[in-house]
Structure 1
Amino acid sequence: MKILKDIINVFYPDVCFCCKNYLTNNEKLLCLFCRNDLPLTNFSFETPNLVEKTFYGRIPIENGTALFYFIKKGKVQQLIHQLKYNGQQQVGSFIGNWLGEEMISSERFHDIDCIIPVPLHHKKLKKRGYNQVTTFGQSLSKILNIPFYENILKKKTAINSQTKLVRFDRWRNVEELFYIENEVSLSNKHILLIDDIITTGATLEASYLALNTFKNIKISIASMAYTK
């Protein structure tokens, strides 16, 4: 098997998702230089941090974290672009494994009961073929040893991209956007709500409002990246 892989690599060598240089046998997705150049937040070990402060006065969250800072045209944007638009779902697993180990080490997330992702509308899901946070959530689920519930939170309508909207318009764009389906009893549970990138937090806030129909829930938040 290794010989076959070596032969394939001669003709179709793996390249770094960021710098496009060839990867060595010991490198996966990213070269060592680009991996070490990723802007880590260390939010898992800090409280209060910028993720938690984003939701002050809006929704009560227990803890919040994000693995990377998201910087326009930076390496993290390139990495997440590969996940969202080029079908490279292994990026989600790569980030989930990394963040999951951080969360275990921090000991601030030890009492979480389950993981729920921010969903895509079914039309966008059908077009893309996958939710970009699924493999991220599955990896967190495995490392944290808690269930991953992908089909509880649903999106009512497909909306325009949030990218160019200001804060107020983002909130108006997602208000009452989500609903609960395929109910599992989440009352009295501590839920880890996950997304790919936190910018204003409006989508996560709307997700919380839908989940808050369950009694006595607690919410923590984890994302791949936080917009700096």
Structure 2
Amino acid sequence: MNLWTDIVEFFFPRLCLSCGRKLLLAEEGLCISCLAGLPYTKLGNTPGNEMEKCFWGRFPVVRASSLFYYAKGGNVALILYAMKYHGRKKLCRNMGRLMAGELLASGFFEGIDYLLPVPLYRTRLRQRGYNQSELLARGISEVTGISLCTDAIVRLRNNATQTHKSGYARWKNVEGLFQPTVNAPKLEGKHILLVDDVLTTGATLIACADALSELKSIRISVLTLAWAR
């Protein structure tokens, strides 16, 4: 730890989002104790798991997994909120590295050609300054070495938040939300991994898959940080 870091840590100590304890230098967002106590899904790379079934009949998902279960007001919700609205870019990347570290030995990433983070609409990206899903994907890439693809689909509008919508309203909210770009054909014959922060009904991720459905021989898997089952 250098002098400048010492000074910053003294005047602006980083605190655990859950318990409020001062974080160690190696900790980010949550202390080790609170991180260990999070509700891990343990889905791993299990074929036909509960999360995969969310996409059955919607698009032919190769595999799907999520690191944590989401519950309103819980510690995972605190992480997601900090990632989205408090500018915690380092936390996003650390969570991506954690996701990759948990799944790497299971073979989940075998055969994946590209990581494709769910894009934000340009005005929201400009306001926030970053895409939390892209930073998650960059963290995953640092561990796995898989390249990112951020230029194959675009978000066409800044759709209303999904948070308080019913299941049907969520589906209507994302109809035609994404569009393939002129760069999308490079994904033909490839296996891509869609990366997002949280899965609720799956509407947004399915809208992404729909935007890529015309590409020949494309295979799609899904990975999220959290799942609100």
TM-score, with length taken from structure 2 = 0.94
Given that 2:117 and 2:195 are in contact with CA atoms closer than 8 Å, whether structure 1 keeps it comes out as: yes
Question: Secondary structure of the equivalent of 2:104?
Answer: helix
- Pick closer, same or farther for the CA change 1:26–1:141 going to 2, 3 Å: closer
Tell me how many residue pairs correspond in the alignment. Answer: 228
Aligned to 1:79: 79
Give the distance between the partners of 1:72 and 1:222, measured in 2 at CA. Answer: 20
| Structure 1 alignment gaps of length 5 or more | none
Moved more, 199-208 or 41-50: 41-50
Structure 1 residue 10: deviation in Å? 2.4
Aligned residue runs from structure 1 range 111-130, under 5 A: 111-130=111-130
Greater Cα shift, 74-83 or 102-111: 102-111
Amino acid at match of 1:202: A
In the TM superposition, residue 25 of structure 1 has moved relative to its aligned partner by 4.2
Q: Deviations over 1:76-126 (max 9, x none)?
A: 100111110000011111111011122211113200000111111111111
Q: How does 1:180-191 map to 2 (within 5 A)?
A: 180-184=180-184, 185-191=186-192
1:149-168 to 2 correspondence within 5 Å? 149-168=149-168
2:206 match: 205
Equivalent residue runs for 1:67-106 within 5 Å? 67-106=67-106
Distance 1:197 1:132 in 2: 11
Q: CA deviation at 1:45?
A: 3.6
RMSD of the alignment, in Å? 1.5
> Identity of counterpart residues, as a percentage?
35
More deviation, 138-147/77-86: 138-147
**What is the CA–CA distance in structure 2 between the aligned matches of 1:164 and 1:28, rounded to whole Å?**
29
Q: Deviations over 1:154-190 (max 9, x none)?
A: 0111111111111111111111111012405111000
CA contact (8 A) 2:28 2:94 kept: no
Q: How many Å separate the matches in 1 of 2:7 and 2:157?
A: 47
Q: 1:32–1:212: structure 2 CA closer, same or farther, 3 Å change rule?
A: same
Length-normalised TM-score, structure 1: 0.94
* 1:223 partner SS: strand
**Which of 26-35 and 125-134 deviates more?**
26-35
Distance in 2, matches of 1:171 and 1:27, equals 37
